Structure 1
Amino acid sequence: MEDEGYHRFLSRCASPLLKELSPASEGLDFGCGPAPLLARILMENGHRVELFDRYYFPEYGAIKKDYDFIVATEVVEHLAAPGDELTRLWRQLRPGGFMALMTKLVISPERFASWHYIRDPTHISFFSAETLRWLAQELGAELQFVDSDVIFLKKSGVYPE
């Protein structure tokens, strides 16, 4: 049985992304985990979604294709070299494409010290709004904070006809 709370959680990314995507877009669920619910939500709405997860769906061919969108929900905090990985993924986005990230953001240095998020030993990379603004500038991306932990980066250009 599907966890309704998890569905609601992922819908905070899926719903606004679905409003942005052209019909039948092709995407990648990067770091999808063992139960790729977000990919299923997107597929149920007419999009094609490839899966990649180093541990559960290690099909490296999926991370060598080009896509209209890439989603990475609750995965970037696990990356040892997030700048390199996000830059590599960015190169796979087609013009006009979206990279949708979900990760908790650092609010302030003072709050970081007692933040529950850093207590997970698998969380090794942390992002702030400033970090994401810098990343968007480096990538030449349009940045949108959709929710407190949902971030869209849009690649300039238009979808091919």
Structure 2
Amino acid sequence: MMQTCPLCGSRDTRHYHRDVRRDYHQCERCELVFVPPVQRLAPAAEKAVYDQHRNSPDDSGYRQFLSRLYTPLRERLAPGACGLDFGAGPGPTLSVMFEEAGHPMAIYDPFYAPDPAALACHYDFVTATEVAEHLFEPGRELERLASLLRPDGWLGLMTKRVTTLQAFTRWHYILDPTHVVFFSDTTFEWLACHLDMRLELPAADVALLQRRPR
């Protein structure tokens, strides 16, 4: 059955891969790979997976993991720039790292910190680490996050990227049942063009998009 791309809305999609649990389709326009809606987890089952996460600011290994986004983004921020950590999870840590560096932070998470006031402000930067791959409606959500940025603001995304079909079939990243959309370099290039933002890809799992000045 023809599937609609949840990022760009195109109906020009094709079947990409099937494993023992679910199917994966790819958009011909933006090259997003995605799981069809009928094969996604229900919210309660999705949250049950997240409840198993044991992330903490006291975990030096987790801080090192987050530094892949933290370091290149912080290098691009003005002193005192304020940010939002979207999808902070049950143990917010990236926000703590930025606050320690002098950047005031807000957090939002649909399960653990569903504060609508955090999405009603504007920020110098917005981060989403290991979040994009979970989004059921990535087009709508990423447009919303970009709209929260002030001119010259940064959207920092951390998510592993699709390379080839052969690699995809052996990829540990697709084994997580909460991972439902998968970006590639081309996908991020499409997104940057769509949002009229400047794109940098400083690492294999990091994308930085900067809002243009007015």
In the TM superposition, residue 110 of structure 1 has moved relative to its aligned partner by 2.3
- The alignment's TM-score, normalised by the length of structure 2, stands at 0.72
Whole-Å separation in 2 of the counterparts to 1:109 and 1:88: 30
In the TM superposition, residue 88 of structure 1 has moved relative to its aligned partner by 1.0
Whole-Å separation in 2 of the counterparts to 1:5 and 1:18: 19
Whole-Å separation in 2 of the counterparts to 1:85 and 1:109: 26
What's the counterpart of residue 94 of structure 1? 150
**Runs of 4+ with >2 A deviation:** none
What's the counterpart of residue 112 of structure 1? 168
In the TM superposition, residue 133 of structure 1 has moved relative to its aligned partner by 0.3
Secondary structure at the residue paired with 2:153? strand
What's the counterpart of residue 83 of structure 1? 139
CA RMSD of aligned residues (A): 1.2
In the TM superposition, residue 114 of structure 1 has moved relative to its aligned partner by 2.1
Whether 1:124 and 2:180 are equivalent positions in the alignment is yes
1:13 to 69, 85, 108: 69
Larger Rg: 2
Identity %: 46
Whether 1:45 and 2:101 are equivalent positions in the alignment is yes
Structure with bigger helix share is: 1
2:210 to 144, 154, 159: 154
Which string of whole-angstrom CA distances, capped at 9 and with x for unpartnered residues, describes residues 24-66 of structure 1? 1111000001111100010011111100001111111101211
Whole-Å separation in 1 of the counterparts to 2:212 and 2:187: 20
Whole-Å separation in 2 of the counterparts to 1:109 and 1:153: 26
